[in-house]
Chain A
């Protein structure tokens, strides 16, 4: 089933989607960039108004117009808030693609797109190689030397800050493997675990934890080797073509592996995969397979909360708050499942912080392309996290975790960042061992 990539004509923004917006403004207060700036140009309604104006031939896409679209986090909080059901996510993806095609994007964006999005993400082996180099760099004192020399400050684009924000990489990476990890006890079903791009290198322990929990709950776990990055970042930054290629590869990998469900521990990947059906609907070869793969995709929190879960008996003594990843809360409308899992963890006290579902400013490549806004959003988020008086922030997406870690490190806060599955895994681990002190 591995045909040549099919070239399909990209559809323009549809009038139907666009004119569903009745400019009522009810989405404004959900939008992080609007709340931060107070500017209608940085609001969902404003961004849609610009799309309408372009559509109506009143406006050409120029840098300024595209700039307002680029400032959008694609967090889709506006979609949750919109009473009219405007498919904002779809609109912004299309608008950005048009902006890219018309060359109305910044050099920063083009650079990231060329190097990272089109260069690295479709080639996971390269990504891993680079990550290994980075790990060496972080371990071997080279980093200290470089920082001491201040050489990064000489480079454009705030590379010094970027370097500081890179996560500390784990000693081992997670890699897809042939074969199946058997369920502990009786097998209920066979699931495919998406390894993704960033997670297996930056958060391998979380991936391991996810596999352990799934097996513990009666799942045979496959991590098909053919899989790769989900393509979400490409899609969100106006490059559906590369995204489609990546989608086809994953669809083949998982369908050929014969799994009952595709489980992701990354909210961003999950939301992209759930939309594979739409992404490839005009592809005569893949449309049906894409829809099938999309329907099989579940977020790990949604999946676990929907199982008759074997509840962990070990304790995780901590006060925690949950940060809704945008792509879970807004794109997939999942807010209860992770909280249910956390509440079911013995010893864990879950408190709500203010604005838990407001974007932390991570949003894929946003930290690089819109650094200032990303920092402003992170600063607000830190205020709310710290005001909640917790030992840890739990989330369910790698990008959010890295961003929150950066914010907390800069604030000099001892608050830890965990994925929901890390918490569950700790609780399971605590059952056996001689009470490992879970969270300090």
Chain B
């Protein structure tokens, strides 16, 4: 509390009273992001320009206060949660698209621009922004850069890192610098590449230069129902083995289908054990041909009820069902814990079977909705945080799932970052030396380590699951499940 007064006064001097949040009841809504971690910052500031960000960071540097960047707070690894307190810098007001350069196919944006807005704007000029996280209608490009976000269409086009050319960055002490730039080729160290995926620990991006791609002339989107996960996984392998690179290849299991249908009635096959969403892009004639091949492969793998979107509206309906799938889980349970593990595509079936075993062992329902083409699992453990001990049990189950991924030769995170929730598992894949090396790199950007401290590496407080039991339970945890 002691440091709060001068900090708040200083912030108000920079941005004005309206853009500083410091009353406890207001800070309460800044304690969460999309994950299950929670912690309250000391204050939140909403700067409007690079200059203000720079002055805010310089102030925090002088006052010895930790700084946590925040976009839309849709992150799933607790990245934007101020686990060690400190100042949250919310970049939501810096949401201008500064330039769309059609000729050079690039855009310059502020970090608070919402992913989908950029894509929509680009599409007006026949271009698109390819990375499309399922959260794209809410998440910001700043958050995407920090987490190196992926999305359904990253199977064919690559993740955020492949689409960001450079960025203006404010460093720990408030200094402003550029990493990368407007050019596709750069010389020297690829600092831009280092920054993408640094989870807000290197600096705060204040401008981002993105690549834009031409929109494909045509697309064909299939929905294939399978009786179980195994045959759906076989279909995925068969499509890839057949030498095809669909623009997207997404899987949902029976539980997820149930959730989506409960809320949206999106026309997913309710009797199926799993469904695949397969999208092909290209020239119209070319699509006809590959379409037939894909149909044959899917049917061969056991797809029943194979259909494709007949219109743009239908295509959008399918995609919004897929992209809303996580949220729809709210219809089944009040909380989900999404585990973002990756396994080699060839071991999908095995991984899913072991995940389901873990669910049985802990007696927790697990829904699967994921980027099958990349082998990027997203088992969502469903629970009710109001039940005593639930969070702990869920975290344990999550840990077991990650161990399975690593054992099968995979990775801890496909796209959501390490943040708070997976930091304890880093030693599963990295040696002490590896992690020291990473910290040395971080030290080059942020010598004092005061940017988003306590993230990415083991140690320090985890996000406290700040639940006041007792009154919480009044509602009765039996309301669900």
Contact A38 B335 (CB under 8 A): no
Contact B137 A26 (CB under 8 A): yes
Contact A84 B93 (CB under 8 A): no
Contact B90 A40 (CB under 8 A): yes
Contact A85 B74 (CB under 8 A): no
Q: Does B376 contact A (CB under 8 A)?
A: no
Q: Does B444 contact A (CB under 8 A)?
A: no
Contact B328 A83 (CB under 8 A): yes
Complex alpha-carbon distance, A45 and B138, angstroms: 12
Which of B112, B135, B479 is in CB contact (< 8 Å) with A26?
B135
The residue in chain A whose Cβ has the minimal distance to the Cβ of B90 is A38
Contact B34 A57 (CB under 8 A): no
Residues of A within 8 A of B468 (CB): 56-58
Q: Does A146 contact B (CB under 8 A)?
A: no
**Secondary structure call for the B interface:** mixed
Knowing A22-B334, A29-B116 are in contact, say whether A16-B479 is a contact too (CB < 8 A).
yes
Contact B334 A20 (CB under 8 A): yes
Knowing A22-B329, A25-B34, A38-B92 are in contact, say whether A49-B29 is a contact too (CB < 8 A).
yes
Q: Does A21 contact B (CB under 8 A)?
A: yes
Bits for A30-63, please: 1 = Cβ < 8 Å to B, else 0. Answer: 1000000111110101100110010111110010
Interface residues in A61-104 (C-beta closer than 8 Å to B): 62, 64-65, 68, 81-86
Complex alpha-carbon distance, A20 and B328, angstroms: 9
Which of B325, B331, B470 is in CB contact (< 8 Å) with A20?
B331
Bits for B463-480, please: 1 = Cβ < 8 Å to A, else 0. Answer: 000011011101110011
Q: Does A202 contact B (CB under 8 A)?
A: no
Q: Does A153 contact B (CB under 8 A)?
A: no
Bits for A1-42, please: 1 = Cβ < 8 Å to B, else 0. Answer: 000000000000001101111111111111000000111110
Interface residues in B43-102 (C-beta closer than 8 Å to A): 46, 72-74, 90, 92-93, 95
The residue in chain A whose Cβ has the minimal distance to the Cβ of B71 is A25
Complex alpha-carbon distance, A43 and B329, angstroms: 21
Interface residues in B415-459 (C-beta closer than 8 Å to A): none
Contact A39 B46 (CB under 8 A): yes
What count of chain B residues pass the 8 Å CB interface test?
53
Residues of A within 8 A of B470 (CB): 57
Least CB distance from B339 to A in Å reads: 15
The residue in chain A whose Cβ has the minimal distance to the Cβ of B470 is A57
Contact A26 B74 (CB under 8 A): yes
Complex alpha-carbon distance, A43 and B33, angstroms: 13
Interface residues in B9-52 (C-beta closer than 8 Å to A): 21, 23, 25-26, 28-30, 32-34, 46
Knowing A25-B72, A56-B472 are in contact, say whether A19-B32 is a contact too (CB < 8 A).
no
Which of A20, A28, A50, A62 is in CB contact (< 8 Å) with B138?
A28
Least CB distance from A237 to B in Å reads: 21
Least CB distance from B317 to A in Å reads: 13
Contact B26 A64 (CB under 8 A): yes
Contact B29 A41 (CB under 8 A): yes
Complex alpha-carbon distance, A299 and B92, angstroms: 37
Q: Does B264 contact A (CB under 8 A)?
A: yes
Complex alpha-carbon distance, A282 and B68, angstroms: 48
Which of A25, A82, A84, A86 is in CB contact (< 8 Å) with B135?
A25
Least CB distance from B301 to A in Å reads: 29
Contact A57 B471 (CB under 8 A): yes
Q: Which of A19, A46, A57, A82 has the most CB of B within 10 A?
A: A19
Q: Does B126 contact A (CB under 8 A)?
A: no
Q: Does B209 contact A (CB under 8 A)?
A: no
Complex alpha-carbon distance, A283 and B324, angstroms: 36
Q: Does B263 contact A (CB under 8 A)?
A: yes
Q: Does B202 contact A (CB under 8 A)?
A: no
Least CB distance from B21 to A in Å reads: 7
- How many residue pairs, one in A and one in B, have C-beta atoms under 8 Å apart? 131
Bits for B320-352, please: 1 = Cβ < 8 Å to A, else 0. Answer: 000111111111001110000000000000000
Residues of B within 8 A of A58 (CB): 28, 468, 471
Knowing A38-B92, A38-B95, A62-B25 are in contact, say whether A22-B138 is a contact too (CB < 8 A).
no
Complex alpha-carbon distance, A38 and B468, angstroms: 28
Contact A64 B25 (CB under 8 A): yes
Contact B93 A83 (CB under 8 A): no
Contact A23 B92 (CB under 8 A): no
Knowing A29-B116, A49-B32, A58-B468 are in contact, say whether A41-B328 is a contact too (CB < 8 A).
no
The residue in chain B whose Cβ has the minimal distance to the Cβ of A21 is B330
Q: Does B114 contact A (CB under 8 A)?
A: yes
Contact B330 A85 (CB under 8 A): yes
Residues of A within 8 A of B32 (CB): 23, 49
Q: Does B360 contact A (CB under 8 A)?
A: no
Contact B116 A84 (CB under 8 A): no
Which of B90, B138, B262, B324 is in CB contact (< 8 Å) with A29?
B138
Complex alpha-carbon distance, A41 and B474, angstroms: 25
Which of A25, A49, A85 is in CB contact (< 8 Å) with B263?
A85
Knowing A38-B46, A85-B262, A85-B331 are in contact, say whether A55-B475 is a contact too (CB < 8 A).
yes
Complex alpha-carbon distance, A363 and B336, angstroms: 34
Least CB distance from A149 to B in Å reads: 34
Residues of B within 8 A of A29 (CB): 72, 114, 116-117, 137-138
Residues of B within 8 A of A83 (CB): 263-264, 323-328, 330
Least CB distance from B26 to A in Å reads: 5
Residues of A within 8 A of B262 (CB): 85
Complex alpha-carbon distance, A62 and B23, angstroms: 12
Complex alpha-carbon distance, A28 and B72, angstroms: 8
Complex alpha-carbon distance, A319 and B245, angstroms: 45
The residue in chain A whose Cβ has the minimal distance to the Cβ of B326 is A24
Residues of A within 8 A of B264 (CB): 83, 85
Least CB distance from A71 to B in Å reads: 12
Which of A16, A24, A68 is in CB contact (< 8 Å) with B74?
A24
Contact B25 A59 (CB under 8 A): yes
Q: Which of B95, B334, B335, B476 has the most CB of A within 10 A?
A: B334
Complex alpha-carbon distance, A43 and B386, angstroms: 24
The residue in chain B whose Cβ has the minimal distance to the Cβ of A85 is B263
Knowing A29-B137, A83-B263 are in contact, say whether A23-B21 is a contact too (CB < 8 A).
no
Residues of A within 8 A of B325 (CB): 83
Complex alpha-carbon distance, A85 and B73, angstroms: 20
Complex alpha-carbon distance, A55 and B474, angstroms: 9
Which of B74, B329, B476, B480 is in CB contact (< 8 Å) with A84?
B329
Contact A16 B480 (CB under 8 A): yes
Contact A24 B34 (CB under 8 A): yes
Knowing A22-B336, A38-B93 are in contact, say whether A15-B479 is a contact too (CB < 8 A).
yes
Contact A86 B137 (CB under 8 A): no
The residue in chain B whose Cβ has the minimal distance to the Cβ of A24 is B327
Contact B138 A26 (CB under 8 A): yes
List 16 contacting pairs A-B, 8 Å CB cutoff, sorted by A.
A15-B476, A16-B479, A19-B386, A20-B330, A20-B334, A23-B33, A25-B34, A26-B135, A26-B324, A29-B137, A39-B21, A59-B28, A81-B137, A83-B328, A84-B328, A85-B328
A15-B476, A20-B334, A40-B73 provided; 9 other pairs, C-beta below 8 A?
A20-B331, A24-B135, A29-B138, A50-B25, A57-B472, A64-B26, A81-B137, A83-B324, A84-B327
Interface of A toward B, CB cutoff 8 Å: 15-16, 18-30, 37-41, 43, 45-46, 49-50, 53, 55-59, 62, 64-65, 68, 81-86
- In the complex, the 4 A-B pairs of residues with the closest C-beta atoms, listed nearest first: A83-B324, A57-B471, A83-B327, A84-B330
